[in-house]
Amino acid sequence: MIKGETAVNEFGYSMPRYFQNMPTIGKSLAAVNEENAQELEQEIAQEIHRSTNAGRPDESLHKAGLMSPMERLNQLIDEGSWCSLNSLYNPYNNPDGSTAVVTGLAKINDKWSVVIVSDHKKLAGVWVGGQAYKLTQACDIALKLRIPLVYILNCSGIKLDEQDRVMAGRIAGGTPFYRHSELAQNGIPVLVGIFGTNPAGGGYHSITPTILVAHEKANMAVGGVGIVSGMNPKGYVDMDAALALIDATKNAKKSVPPGTVQTHYNVTGLFREVYGTEEGVLEALKKYVNASPSYNENYFRIAEPMEPQLPQEDIYSLLPFNQRRPYNIKDILARLADNSEFSEFKPTYGPEIVCGLAKFNGLLTGVITNYQGILMNYPEYCDNTVGVGGKLYRQGLLKMNEFATLCARDRIPLVWFQDTTGIDVGDPAEEAELLALGASLIYATQSAHIPQLEITLRKGTGAAHYVMGGPMGTKTNVFSLGTAATEIYVMHSETAAAAMSARRLVKENDAGNDIQPVIDEMNDLIQDYHNKSRPAYCAKQGWVDEIVALRDLRRYICSFVGAAYQNPAGVCPFHQMLLPRMIRDWNVAENA
């Protein structure tokens, strides 16, 4: 462009020779693979649909003049922006398949926000086992991305016969309350639209955000009518106590619950605004999101957003459902990154790791993933050996350490694509310092202070799952995604069975005993590993935050990256970045 001319994008772009027209990757699909993840994706989608629709029918809510949880959500957020999270999380096996709350990432008036919706289809949004973790995770996502946390609140308090699963513990009923304070102290808005009756835990959920907007029929209180009327505790219930409770309950129905709009708008002023319609409350929340701090995405764009050159649907054929089959990870990246462009970091060093810079929706992003396939005469610390893609060796660990550190220095958000069978073992691996280098990578990612997304494409195994941006390996992990091909375990099931039973097999065999019972126990363990490493199980336990259809991976990645750039804690000017220059100089030297 000639000096003085106007750029196509009115904001212009920095350093186009580094960021525009990056190398393109990927080949056209050779053949369709019929053995893919789509059938399992459909089963997972049906399970999510069942849990979402369980409880009070929408028709019943409508007759009572109420919108359903999803109707409230859809009224609040921008169409097509919803990225659900922890949809299947249910560690206590709640019968309806949920924790009575809906969470996710979405745009509200074009600003990314974390959204929490009380599912009042389930006992008026009651607190049940597992809900506190889900709420806390949503708070943490808002903190790490520095974007608004927005509640659509309709919470009737703790399900009292499950108080042991809700009330006490480090991540429990009260945890989100202090997390709201933490968000406020970091300048991050916490907004709440209050509907229905919200006593006790629901009351604290109402009062701990920074802006409170209420429906005219909403209330919030330290305790509900039943608690206010109370009982005289004797340690048991007798006939007199039961009759007294009947009388108190009948009278309570006739009384006005504590903490209504009359109190908290007209007297205390805790409600900032009150609306006569649900739509009015939701529109007010949009107004306050509009007023929250953010950058325009174009401030950080390095190129025009572009779709990949190759269709995302191809990923179903490219990613084998058979865990033992290799594939070309660059072919998959080519279906995810803008214009199928990827600027690779040190491609000939640490070949078991593929990492580099890509663009998602025109925004610069670091990518780290595992190579799949055979590596001849590798690793370098062993003679005459063949390395296996998916396993981590010395050079790959050093390469990831350096790349993650440079991303942190340049303030570039990082996306990890995991498909790893673990870290190399044995004396040569110990002499090559792999144990220390794995710990170094944890140190590097934890020191990075940049938002990181981890996607377990297929295998997440042992310590390799930790060190490659896994949720248990660093607080900078914003959230983790799985696919219908995901497996997470400490080691392969047959390896675990052998480790558990090898000595017993020897002992029984040497004694002349029948070893079939031991074999049966080994096979039981193998089956147990299989059952407890499936995608739905991983999501149910919170090992991943969502199982995402392969065709939706790019949408989730773009959402994460967009949110990461919305209100970052720090910025590196593009012309002061080192990583793009180091990639270019390495490649020039390699090709000289």
Give the tens place of pLDDT for each residue, 531-558. 999 999 999 999 999 999 999 999 999 9
Mean pLDDT over 332-353 rounds to 97
Give the pLDDT band (50/70/90) at residue 3: very low
- What is the per-residue pLDDT for 19? 94
Mean pLDDT over 76-89 rounds to 97
Two tokens, residue 378: 């590798």
Instruction: State how far the Cα of 72 lies from the Cα of 76, in Å rounded to an integer.
Output: 6
Least confident range of 37-41, 60-64, 377-381, 458-462: 37-41
Give the pLDDT band (50/70/90) at residue 6: very low
Which residue carries 């999101």 as its tokens?
A: 289
- What is the per-residue pLDDT for 226? 56
Residue type at position 467? V
Which residue carries 């010395």 as its tokens?
A: 394
Averaging pLDDT over each range in 39-48, 357-366, 489-498, which range is the top one?
A: 357-366
- What is the per-residue pLDDT for 418? 97
Give the pLDDT band (50/70/90) at residue 5: very low
- What is the per-residue pLDDT for 577? 97
Question: Which among 118, 126, 263, 87 is positioned nearest to 193, based on CA atoms?
Answer: 118
Least confident range of 121-125, 155-159, 277-281: 155-159
Mean pLDDT over 138-149 rounds to 97
Give the pLDDT band (50/70/90) at residue 183: very high
For the cut 80, the answer to whether the pLDDT of residue 414 exceeds it is: yes
Instruction: State how far the Cα of 321 lies from the Cα of 459, in Å rounded to an integer.
Output: 11
Question: Which among 192, 258, 172 is positioned nearest to 222, based on CA atoms?
Answer: 258
Instruction: State how far the Cα of 153 lies from the Cα of 107, in Å rounded to an integer.
Output: 18
Handedness of CA 259, 263, 267, 269 (dihedral sign): positive
Q: Which residues of 75-114 are buried (b: 16+ CB within 10 A; e: fewer)?
A: bbbbeebbbbbbbbbbeeebebbbbbbbbbbbbbeebbbb
Q: Which residue has the higher pLDDT, 38 or 551?
A: 551
- What is the per-residue pLDDT for 219? 92
**Running DSSP on this structure, what letter comes out for residue 165?**
G
- What is the per-residue pLDDT for 156? 86
Q: Which residue has the higher pLDDT, 112 or 1?
A: 112
Give the pLDDT band (50/70/90) at residue 166: confident
Q: Please, what is the average pLDDT of the chain?
A: 92
**Running DSSP on this structure, what letter comes out for residue 527?**
H
Two tokens, residue 95: 């019968």
What tens digit of pLDDT does each residue of 357-408 get?
999 999 999 999 999 999 999 999 999 899 999 999 999 999 999 999 999 9
Give the pLDDT band (50/70/90) at residue 7: very low
- What is the per-residue pLDDT for 1? 33
Least confident range of 6-15, 379-388, 449-458, 522-531: 6-15
- What is the per-residue pLDDT for 158? 80
- What is the per-residue pLDDT for 252? 64
Alpha-carbon dihedral angle through residues 480, 486, 490, 495, given to the nearest 10 degrees: -170
Mean pLDDT over 160-172 rounds to 84
Report the percentage of the chain scoring pLDDT > 70: 96
Instruction: State how far the Cα of 44 lies from the Cα of 114, in Å rounded to an integer.
Output: 23
Instruction: State how far the Cα of 560 lies from the Cα of 542, in Å rounded to an integer.
Output: 19
Classify 286 as helix, strand or coil: helix
Report the percentage of the chain scoring pLDDT > 90: 78
Mean pLDDT over 110-133 rounds to 93
pTM, entire model: 0.94
Instruction: State how far the Cα of 432 lies from the Cα of 393, in Å rounded to an integer.
Output: 9
Instruction: State how far the Cα of 353 lies from the Cα of 201, in Å rounded to an integer.
Output: 47
**Running DSSP on this structure, what letter comes out for residue 124?**
T
Mean pLDDT over 477-506 rounds to 93
Two tokens, residue 28: 């056209």
Instruction: State how far the Cα of 127 lies from the Cα of 189, in Å rounded to an integer.
Output: 23
For the cut 80, the answer to whether the pLDDT of residue 224 exceeds it is: no
For the chain, how many residues are written? 592
CATH for 54-223+259-290 is 3.90.226.10
For the cut 80, the answer to whether the pLDDT of residue 282 exceeds it is: yes
Least confident range of 42-46, 161-165, 478-482: 161-165
**Running DSSP on this structure, what letter comes out for residue 83?**
E
Give the pLDDT band (50/70/90) at residue 233: low
Give the pLDDT band (50/70/90) at residue 262: very high
